[in-house]
Amino acid sequence: MSEAQGPLSRRRLFGIAGAGAAVAGVGAAAGVFGSKTLGTSDQPVEQAAAASVPFRGPHQAGIVTPAQDRMHFVAFDVTTTDRAELVEMLREWTTAAERMTTGQEAVPNGAVGGSEHAPPADTGEALDLPASALTLTIGFGPSLFDKRFGLAKLRPPALIDLPHFRADELDPARSGGDLCVQACANDPQVAVHAIRNLARIGFGKVAVRWSQLGFGRTSSTSRSQSTPRNLFGFKDGTNNLKAEDTADLSQHMWVQPGDGPEWMTGGSYMVTRRIRMHIETWDRAPLAEQQAIIGRAKGSGAPLGQVDEFDPIDLHVRGEGGIPLIAEDAHVRLAAAESLRGVKILRRGYNFTDGSDGVGHLDAGLFFVAFNRDSRTHFVPMQKALADNDAMMEYVQHTGSAHFAVPRGLGKGEYWGQTLFG
Amino acid sequence: MSEAQGPLSRRRLFGIAGAGAAVAGVGAAAGVFGSKTLGTSDQPVEQAAAASVPFRGPHQAGIVTPAQDRMHFVAFDVTTTDRAELVEMLREWTTAAERMTTGQEAVPNGAVGGSEHAPPADTGEALDLPASALTLTIGFGPSLFDKRFGLAKLRPPALIDLPHFRADELDPARSGGDLCVQACANDPQVAVHAIRNLARIGFGKVAVRWSQLGFGRTSSTSRSQSTPRNLFGFKDGTNNLKAEDTADLSQHMWVQPGDGPEWMTGGSYMVTRRIRMHIETWDRAPLAEQQAIIGRAKGSGAPLGQVDEFDPIDLHVRGEGGIPLIAEDAHVRLAAAESLRGVKILRRGYNFTDGSDGVGHLDAGLFFVAFNRDSRTHFVPMQKALADNDAMMEYVQHTGSAHFAVPRGLGKGEYWGQTLFG
């Protein structure tokens, strides 16, 4: 876990921002990325914890970007019914978001440089902080495609209303949303500042529906990262899709030409699930039972029957009496591509704790965030298998759920949502 | 904002832990610190973000320790009525707490080294993480001194039930508590892990009453630190008592011999207030109004009428028409020692965000934590002045409150609460 290591030099800042602009320029020149198989060109670059991540490019940042340490996620209801006003807000958001990802204020000299007689255009709490690898990722929820904005015909078939899964106990106040913004950064104050300033720009047009702070990443999205641990104490995301798996990403995560409406080509579908973990009950389970439920050794993270964390999972190894070493109801078996007709997803979740539950326990768990090419063929069958059979279900409770269409990244001069509204 | 910079080398780890033990040894030899004026000997030592902070010493760590970047705070109700059982838990907590502050598991080989057939004695999510400057600070609330444990006569007169302040809207579910533990660290996962493992050890004896995650520090407690910003975008804690102010700390923060019951000598009284900030309303106030409310310039942090952040506040400077540059209802005027018969407190608060408020806004603010020698003479008059007159009150709402007696630090072999129970 490495974090901001001091102020970013202007030289380094502009060097990286310049590189980002160059990538965007190339993409725009190549016909806005639309005509080739997507996802083969954006290798991750390991970043200094305080550095900036390019905002523009073929795909939105914050998906295969090496997962930052902290997250603040927000879902908005759109409160205006005026399409032009919504589009104008998305343009303003884009400008502000791009600035903030370079460590600048939302608006030039916004915090203290304007008129004393006007409210500051930036709220100021990130004034002294570097970019901190901030990424801002926008998504559009199913409810946006109702009658208000004339978007019904553009709703992607893949952007389904997620089905009810067994044992779901979803709180509507933690679910859904017309729009979302995922802010990830190595300094949480930078992520919170970004969300807050977007909410401020959106005043009168959008209202915060729910938000979630994630204090620690539970996934690696690049082989340059070590595997973090979730609140069950296990390494999480060992077998996650990673930025380097470009062929798999094209097959399983990036929406390809012809998959659905053209405006989503190069994007991905994001599912969020707020998963309360009953850690107090978990902590009373014997080590062997915990390991059997997960299907991995707690210390090394190795699949049961193997030695090292990254050894391939072998679902067919049997122990004494012919009993499978990885149980029929083990998490890794049910979530394995082998059990799911080969489908894979990219996970990008965070540990959370939200105070107490009022009956003597911490309210803590995993804010699950995943990206896939089509939630009907990827997330839904995976989640159904887990909800129906996963031994872990005894220890978790899904309390929030949302689904968003996350378009491709922006070319030069483009704004968030342009492929949808433009 | 600097954070964990990689694994701590064993040599460095043991070097620092050794120094801590040496300090404790000296203190214990000098009659358990009780007979001299306290607070003059523990200068802060700037620590690497991942290093460990000595657990034992004349005062508890986590008070004048340079404020770490993140916090997890928990208040417990004691559910056992058996005094011996409570004391035994405090002994277990002490051992586990000391271990965790050195980056070790709560129990040796606790996460994966025990029997497979028993629940692991450490929950494991901090297995790969360094000490991260973790401090664990214990406090005892007024409600502990009821009839259950025979402590009524030992309740310090200073440990009052805090009075109702104007505009208080306290939620009982976010207030009070028999015991508290403040965990501060530069990696939030380390802080959450510590609280969770103490809660686990306390199962059946204590229950979580409330907990609060703080994502970013809003105070400096050492001149070695830069001043952070709160969610109003202002530098916070410029004029805070700092570890280097040893005379002031003795006068205003450390309980001195003769102040009350002997068991609190060398300790301090901690007040926590969960302060919801109406940031959306604040963000619509003009810069000049924001600065007038605070009494400082937003950019530099300089007091109005001065140039630099650390210039002394001059409450007597007047501008055009003889109007005071620092308004009569400005926050810095009302909180200034000059306005409060000279009293000062040490603040150690954190920014928080807890999702949304259900009506379109972020639920965000400041988790105020302060330490003082006597809350009757220090915190209460200060808070009364602010609650009655502070222009900032229009933008904040106190939603939680608690008060704890925080005893002195531990000598070698001592346990948390020994001066009270021993």
A377 Cα to chain B: minimum distance (Å): 31
A215–B216 CB contact, under 8 Å = no
**B23 to chain A nearest CA, in Å?**
30
pLDDT of amino acid B48:
79
Q: How high is the pLDDT of residue A19?
A: 33
Per-residue pLDDT of chain B (422 residues; tens, 9 = 90+): 333 333 333 223 333 333 333 333 333 333 444 333 444 334 444 467 889 999 999 999 999 999 999 999 999 999 999 999 999 999 999 999 999 999 999 999 999 999 999 999 999 999 999 999 999 999 999 999 999 999 999 999 999 999 999 999 999 999 999 999 999 999 999 999 999 999 999 999 999 999 999 999 999 999 999 999 999 999 998 999 999 999 999 999 999 999 999 999 999 999 999 999 999 999 999 999 999 999 999 999 999 999 999 999 999 999 999 999 999 999 999 999 999 999 999 999 999 999 999 999 999 999 999 999 999 999 999 999 999 999 999 999 999 999 999 999 999 999 999 999 99
How confident is the model over A324-381, as pLDDT tens digits?
A: 999 999 999 999 999 999 999 999 999 999 999 999 999 999 999 999 999 999 999 9
Q: Can you tell me the mean pLDDT for A85-108?
A: 98
Confidence of residue A47 (pLDDT cuts 50, 70, 90): low
Beta bridge partners of B136: B183
Q: Where are the domains of chain A?
A: 6-146+155-407
Number of Cβ pairs closer than 8 Å across A and B?
A: 246
DSSP-derived letter for residue A351 is E
Q: Contacts of residue A231 in chain B, CB cutoff 8 Å?
A: 123, 125, 192, 196
Render pLDDT for A1-37 as a digit per residue (tens, 0 to 9). Answer: 333 333 333 223 333 333 333 333 333 333 344 333 4
Alpha-helix runs per DSSP H in A239-315:
246-252, 279-282, 287-294
CB contact under 8 Å between B233 and A124, yes or no, is yes
Classify A61 in phi/psi space as left (phi over 0), alpha (psi -120 to 50) or beta.
beta
From the list A1, A208, A362, the residue facing B356 with the nearest CB is A208
What's residue A49's pLDDT?
86
Contacts of A410 (CB under 8 A, 6+ apart): A24, A55, A56, A57, A60, A94, A416, A418
Q: Name which of B112, B114, B286 is nearest A117 (Cβ-Cβ).
A: B286
Cα(B147)–Cα(B414) distance, integer angstroms: 25
Q: How far is B106 from chain A (nearest CA, A)?
A: 13
Question: Higher-confidence residue: A93 or B33?
Answer: A93
CB pair distance less than 8 Å for B118 and A287: yes
Quick one: what percent of chain A has pLDDT higher than 90? 87
**pLDDT score of A141:** 98
CA–CA gap between residue B422 and residue B414 (Å, rounded): 9
Determine whether the interchain pair A120/B233 forms a contact, defined as Cβ–Cβ distance below 8 Å.
yes
CA distance B336 to chain A (A): 23
Residue-wise pLDDT for A109-139, tens only, equals: 999 999 999 999 999 999 999 999 999 999 9
Q: Amino acid identity of A236?
A: D
Written as one letter, the residue type at A405 is A
How much of chain A exceeds pLDDT 70, in percent?
A: 89
pLDDT digit string, tens, across residues A286-327: 999 999 999 999 999 999 999 999 999 999 999 999 999 999
d(CA B23, CA A259): 67
Cβ contact (<8 Å) for A287 and B117? yes
Instruction: Calculate the CA dihedral of residues A203, A204, A207, A213 and round it to 10 degrees.
Output: 0
For the entire predicted model, the pTM comes to: 0.90
Contacts of A203 in chain B (CB under 8 A): 280
A3/B129 Cβ within 8 A: no
**Residue bearing the bigger pLDDT, B7 or A227:** A227
Complex-level ipTM: 0.90
Which pLDDT value is given to residue B197? 98
Closest CA to A46 of A16, A5, A11: A16
